[in-house]
Amino acid sequence: MCGRFTLTVGPDDLIDEFQLELFPEDYQPSYNIAPTQQVLTAIHSKDGRRAGYMKWGLIPFWVKDPQKWKPIINARAETLEEKASFKHLLDRRRSILLADSFYEWKVIGGKKTPFRIQRKDGKPFAFAGLWDRNNHTGQNVVTCTIVTTEANSLVRDIHERMPVILENEKAIEAWMNIQEYPFSKAKEFLRPYPSEQMHKYPVSPFVNSPENNSVECIKPIIL
């Protein structure tokens, strides 16, 4: 699964890396992004790729009382076509969430130790996501979820699942461009990111609280 991640790079790097035509002026890097927070996402439009904020935790359009609904932060790639919360989005509302690492916790010596997992080159990457819009409260609530897959060999030591990280520009374009790539073609890119291109290291339990959001969250520690 994916329950916490980071986005610490500057806006120019994100605009260049993901070929974004529109980018929010209020962008702020974050070292500890948690469910229910606003997360930076991007969608494909007739005017190019547009980045903006959505609330992390999917609330489908058909939910009449969002207050009684548990927001869905992750969606298993293997069962997307079977679930009512997701199947109507597969050819209509695919998105990417921008990140540069994610956290997972491993029990060591009886204690949960957080690990930061990122690309070896430190560059940002795109999680495959789905989004929806709910208007039942009279408000326009836009939410999203992260698609997950089986873990690669690097992550498997910590957790059996990992977020789908779209491997390259071809995968990003196929996932975002719903006009040219139906889900039947785009789903081939929902696979584990190559473990040889990633690395991980332990970080302080400081990251355990979503209220903590500083560089301290990503500093390596010695076990």
Catalytic residue chosen out of the listed positions 2, 81, 150, 217: 2
CA distance 31 to 67: 28
Answer whether 55's CB lies under 8 Å from 34's CB.
no
Catalytic residue chosen out of the listed positions 21, 25, 81, 104: 104
Catalytic-residue membership of 180: no
CA distance 154 to 117: 9
CA distance 174 to 122: 23
CA distances to 7, 29, 166, 180, 183 from 217, in Å: 12, 13, 25, 40, 36
Catalytic-residue membership of 2: yes
Residues catalogued as catalytic = 2, 104
